Structures are given as C-alpha cells and as structure tokens.
C-alpha cells in the first residue's frame, strides 16, 4: 500500500485541484511560508530561459531549496506552472468547475483577473520531468513523514550518484523509522557492492545483503557485477541473482495468473447476459454486443451530466446502464424477436440488422469518434505488493465486480419466483403455460434481464477499452464462444469457460504473441466442440432437447 501512495504522489494523474496538493503528500504548512529570498532571481530565470536550458536553473533552485519549495517542483512536473506575462510572477494553474484559475505558488491564494491569455506555460519535457522527480525525492529525504522519506529513498535507488549516497549516508544513522532505515541500508549496500576500491569481503557482504531484495535496480546492478573481472565478486553476484530470480519467477507466475483471471472476468461480464438470452431462452441475439455498447455510452452520458463527481458517477451509471439496455432489450423482444419465435435463422438475421441500426444510430447521435470516459481516481493505478508483483486496481475491481454480478444473477434465478418461472419456461414452455405462467411476459423480462446485464458489462468495459460504435462487435464473438464452450443454458459453465479461456490466452500470449494465441484458443474450441458438442457442462435430463 505504501508503494501505491508513492505512485499516487509521483506518477499517476496528479489532478490539478488544489485539494490534492494540500493532502498528506505535500508539505503541511504551504500557506504559511513564503519563498526564500534567494529563490526570487532564480524563479525569474525560470520565466526567461528556453526550456532546453532550464536544467542548470533547476539545479540552482534545488541547492537553495527546502521541503516547502519542493511544491514548486511538483507543480512544474505536473505541467501546472505558468507565469503572468506582465510581471513575470509564477502561478499555479488549476481547474475549478471547468474554469481555469491561477494561484500563487506559495501563498495558495487565487489571483483575480488572471486569464488563460495573460499567462504563459513553463514547458517541461521528459528530461526535466526525470530530473524533477529525483530532485523532489532528494528534498523529501529530510521530510518529517516517514512515508514520504521511504518513497523518496525508493525513488532514488535507481539514481545513486555520489551526492545522493553522501546524503543518505549522513541521514542513515539518525533515521528512526525501521522501514526507511532498511531501504537506506539497501541503497548504501548497492553503493558498497559497486565500489571497486573497497575490499572484497565488505563487497561480498553487501551483495549478500542485496540478495534479499526484489527491487529492479538491485537486479540491474547485480547483473553489472557478474560482468566484472573480479572472480569472487562475480560468483557472489551470480549466486545472489539466482536466488532472486527463483523468487521473482514465482511472482511472475502469479502476475500471469492475475492477467488471465482479469481477461476471464471481462469475458464473463460480456457473456453472462448472453448466457441468459441465448443459453436460457435460446434466442441467438446478434445485437447483444450493442447492448454492451449502450451501457458504455450510458456511462459516458452519466459522466457528462455530473462532471464534478466523476468518482461517484460509476455508482449512478451501473443502474442507469441496466435500465437503458434493459429497456432497449424489451423493445427488441416485443417488436421483433417475439414474432420470430422458433425460427432461429430469421432471429439471427433480424438481430444482426438491429445491431447495425443501433451502431449507426450511435454514430449519428454521438459521432463516429470514440467518446472519452474518465476513470474514477480510486480505480487508477496499481496495488504494488512487492517490486515484482503489482495488480492494476481497475482490473482488480472489475474482477470482483464480475463475480458479484454472477452471484447476484445466480441468486435471482435460483431463489426468486421470477427465476423459477424463467427456468420453467426455458425447460418446457407448454407445460409452464399450462401451469399458469405468463410465458409471454416471462420472455420479455428474461430478455430485459440479459440485456440489462450486458449494459452493466458496458459500464465495466468503458473503464478498460474505447467507447465507440464498434465496441460491441469486439465482444460478440468472444461472448458466443464462452457460452458455447461452457455449455448452453448453464451459468456455472459460463463462469468456468470464461476463466479458463482467459487464463489459457494469457499464458499462451508471452510464448506465441497475441495474434497466434487467439488463433490457438479458437482452434482448441473448435476441436473441443467437435468432441463434446454440448460444451463443458451439458444440460441433462428430459428438459434438454
């Protein structure tokens, strides 16, 4: 979780709101401090130099800097540092309710009458950004918060120059926090292992110390050492490397497994609605993908309507997408599919036509361009368990969400009277009718349920992929594949099929490439269906025709 915070403060979407810069990652007393007087001429220089010549200026600022002025660097790294054209005052840009506002760097007070036209941006490129990142870390080494110090040391691991090592060495003995001290020790050990003027025994001890770490930098440095002439160091480094790689391989396997589960969850979400309309009702619905697309577009519209509450928009979008796609589903069922009952070929053609109409409708209303759906901040980034294993949060949430939806659906089918009726109609329509079940009504409800769930899948997919008119087409084939592979009419089969196909694809991919792995999986399914036409879990009993 600590790593996750590091990530938040250093890399990912630093939202340009003042609220963010006031939280724990920045200094606690920004508003009370003014810029140190030594900085004033340097800050003026920032506004005058071309950005290819900014690096020396920044280095001078760093030399005169304390933790408070680190905020200057942070604002600059985010690309929010501007200056007012007339008096060359540096200001921080932020957006409030879609309006561009500018505030003093240290005072944090909004400066009135400053508009987009009266300011110029101080540009940053990758080289400057890289420098700023390590500079912020160096300044933060003396931070009061252990959390920040730890992230600073981790950031500096890959950039250990003499100055940095000297800084860490000076701070090491006075460090009180256990984790930070360990991380500093690691940094010093890297330095010791690399310094050729030290005696072998000291260096080998340092190498042993390194073998317990999974950090990438450590592996790189050890690899460097294995290429050296000194035989004792070479063997020690090789031993350390092999013990590290044993552990990383295990984590790499777990990572791969997670990728597979995540792909499986996407397949599950996309196909679970189809498992109902196709599996339970027997309707070949080629417009299923468009139901997913409508769900994704609903998310987009919901976000348009609540631009200031993106973080919560998902919770509104899920029921909204269910309702929109469900309603369209009912319409399709009432107007088209009902009249084609028992004629699968006509149903297939009619629903294919509907899918084209829906696509073009969306193209006309929303334009053929993809729409931009923002990810809530709590879904961005990843959960770094250790330097080798990190799980991306959006996929983690979607995995949990897909299982939740699956469970809810099973509950509805198994425990409610609606579910009982649905199962009755799907097993024997005439008998159910004779028992007083309104089969017509049940058909409509079932189709609405399947379409609505497709809509929910659209909400989840909008977080992973493009929201455009063709979104549905990308998933329709996979959905049919999963349902047929799992066994038509069997929800558990859909679950197992989705996850096994997901895992198989992801384990094949690194070996064969993305194109071939898809082909191999398809070939496997064709062969499997040849052998077992009814899928993994065929429906048994008299009811199954």
Using CB under 8 A, list all residues that contact other proteins: 7, 11-13, 79, 123, 125-127, 129-130, 133, 216-217, 219-221, 223-224, 255-256, 259, 262-263, 266, 356-357, 360-361, 363-365, 368-372, 374-375, 380-382, 384, 390, 392-395, 464-466, 468, 470, 474, 506, 509-510, 513-515, 518
> Which residue, 131 or 322, has its beta carbon nearer to other proteins?
131
Q: How far is the CB of 36 from other proteins (least distance, A)?
A: 28
3-state secondary structure of 494: helix
- The token duo for 132 is 């700023």
Q: How far is the CB of 125 from other proteins (least distance, A)?
A: 5
> Which residue, 59 or 123, has its beta carbon nearer to other proteins?
123
Return the ∠ at Cα 392 (arms to 386 and 393), rounded to 5°.
110
**C-alpha 375: how far from its chain's center?**
8
Q: How far is the CB of 304 from other proteins (least distance, A)?
A: 14
- Are the CB atoms for 220 and 253 separated by under 8 Å? no
> Which residue, 62 or 509, has its beta carbon nearer to other proteins?
509
Q: How far is the CB of 1 from other proteins (least distance, A)?
A: 14
- The token duo for 515 is 């194109």
Query: H or E stretch including 176?
Result: none
Q: What's the DSSP call for residue 429?
A: H
Residues 6+ apart with CB under 8 A from 100: 93, 115, 116
- The token duo for 196 is 């050729």
Q: How far is the CB of 448 from other proteins (least distance, A)?
A: 22
Query: Of 207, 217, 200, 340, whose CA–CA distance to 282 is shortest?
Result: 340
Q: How far is the CB of 105 from other proteins (least distance, A)?
A: 19
> Which residue, 80 or 443, has its beta carbon nearer to other proteins?
80
Query: Of 505, 10, 483, 52, whose CA–CA distance to 273 is shortest?
Result: 483
> Which residue, 168 or 373, has its beta carbon nearer to other proteins?
373
> Which residue, 48 or 360, has its beta carbon nearer to other proteins?
360
Question: Three-state secondary structure along 14-70?
Answer: CCCCHHHHCCCCCCCCHHHCCCCCCHHHHHHHHHHCCHHHHHHHHHHHHHCCCCCCH
d(CA 168, CA 164): 6
> Which residue, 510 or 533, has its beta carbon nearer to other proteins?
510
- The token duo for 134 is 């390590």
d(CA 472, CA 270): 9
- Are the CB atoms for 166 and 155 separated by under 8 Å? no
CB atoms under 10 Å from CB of 223, counted, come to 12
Q: How far is the CB of 363 from other proteins (least distance, A)?
A: 7
Q: How far is the CB of 413 from other proteins (least distance, A)?
A: 29
What are the angstrom distances between the C-alpha of 127 and each of 6, 75, 131?
A: 20, 16, 6
Q: How far is the CB of 235 from other proteins (least distance, A)?
A: 20
Q: How far is the CB of 513 from other proteins (least distance, A)?
A: 6
Q: Terminal CA-to-CA distance of the chain, rounded, Å?
A: 53
d(CA 130, CA 127): 5
What are the angstrom distances between the C-alpha of 165 and each of 185, 189, 199?
A: 11, 10, 19
d(CA 367, CA 351): 23
> Which residue, 320 or 467, has its beta carbon nearer to other proteins?
467
> Which residue, 16 or 446, has its beta carbon nearer to other proteins?
16
> Which residue, 56 or 513, has its beta carbon nearer to other proteins?
513
> Which residue, 29 or 196, has its beta carbon nearer to other proteins?
196
DSSP readout, 90-143? Answer: EEEEEEETTEEEEEETTT--BPTT--GGGEEE----HHHHHHHHHHHHHHHTT-
Q: How far is the CB of 7 from other proteins (least distance, A)?
A: 6
Return the ∠ at Cα 532 (arms to 526 and 535), rounded to 5°.
80
E-strand stretches of 332-418: 382-384, 390-392
> Which residue, 68 or 191, has its beta carbon nearer to other proteins?
191
Q: How far is the CB of 51 from other proteins (least distance, A)?
A: 9
d(CA 270, CA 477): 10
> Which residue, 129 or 438, has its beta carbon nearer to other proteins?
129
Q: How far is the CB of 421 from other proteins (least distance, A)?
A: 35
């Amino acid at each position: 979780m600590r790593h996750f915070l590091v990530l938040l403060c250093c890399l990912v979407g630093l939202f340009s709101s003042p609220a963010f810069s006031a939280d724990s990652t920045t200094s606690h007393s920004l508003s009370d401090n003014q810029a140190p007087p030594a900085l004033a001429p340097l800050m003026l220089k920032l506004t005058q130099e071309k950005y290819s010549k900014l690096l020396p200026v920044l280095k001078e600022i760093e030399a005169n800097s304390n933790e408070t002025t680190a905020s200057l660097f942070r604002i600059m790294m985010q690309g929010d540092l501007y200056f007012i054209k007339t008096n060359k005052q540096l200001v921080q840009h932020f957006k409030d309710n879609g309006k561009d506002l500018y505030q003093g760097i240290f005072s944090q007070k909004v400066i009135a009458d400053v508009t987009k036209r009266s300011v110029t941006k101080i540009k940053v490129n990758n080289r400057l950004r890289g420098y700023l990142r390590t500079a912020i870390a160096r300044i933060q080494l003396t931070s009061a918060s252990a959390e920040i110090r730890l992230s600073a040391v981790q950031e500096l691991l890959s950039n250990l120059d003499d100055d940095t090592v000297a800084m860490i060495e000076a701070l090491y003995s006075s460090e009180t926090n256990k984790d930070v001290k360990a991380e500093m020790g690691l940094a010093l050990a890297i330095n010791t292992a690399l310094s050729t003027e030290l005696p072998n025994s000291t260096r080998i001890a340092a190498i042993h110390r390194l073998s317990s770490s999974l950090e990438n930098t450590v592996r790189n440095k050890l690899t460097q050492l294995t290429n050296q002439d000194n035989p004792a160091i070479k063997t020690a480094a090789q031993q350390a490397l092999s013990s590290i790689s044993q552990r990383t391989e295990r984590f790499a396997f777990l990572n791969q497994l997670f990728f597979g589960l995540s792909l499986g969850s996407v397949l599950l979400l996309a196909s679970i609605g189809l498992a109902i309309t196709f599996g339970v009702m027997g309707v070949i619905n080629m417009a299923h993908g468009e139901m997913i697309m409508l769900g994704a577009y609903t998310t987009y519209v919901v976000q348009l309507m609540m631009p200031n509450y993106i973080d919560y928009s998902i919770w509104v979008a899920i029921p909204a997408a269910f309702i929109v796609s469900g309603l369209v589903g009912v319409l399709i069922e009432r107007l088209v599919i009902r009249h084609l009952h028992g004629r699968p070929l006509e149903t297939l053609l009619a629903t294919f036509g509907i899918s084209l109409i829906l696509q073009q409708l969306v193209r006309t209303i929303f334009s053929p361009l993809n729409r931009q759906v923002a990810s809530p901040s709590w879904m961005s980034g990843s959960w770094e368990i250790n330097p080798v294993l990190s799980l991306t949060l959006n996929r983690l949430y979607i995995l949990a969400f897909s299982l939740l939806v699956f469970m809810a659906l099973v509950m509805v089918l198994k425990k409610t009277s609606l579910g009982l009726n649905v199962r009755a109609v799907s097993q024997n329509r005439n008998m159910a009718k004779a028992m007083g079940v309104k089969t017509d009504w049940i058909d409509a409800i079932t189709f609405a349920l399947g379409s609505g769930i497709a809509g929910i899948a659209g909400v989840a997919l909008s977080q992973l992929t493009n929201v455009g008119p063709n979104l549905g087409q990308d998933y329709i084939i996979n959905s049919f594949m999963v349902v047929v592979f799992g066994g038509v009419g069997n929800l558990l089969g859909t679950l197992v099929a989705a996850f096994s196909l997901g895992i198989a694809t992801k384990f094949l991919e690194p070996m064969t490439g993305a194109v071939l792995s898809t082909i191999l999986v398809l070939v496997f399914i064709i062969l499997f269906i040849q052998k077992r036409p009814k899928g993994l879990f065929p429906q048994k009993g008299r009811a199954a025709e």
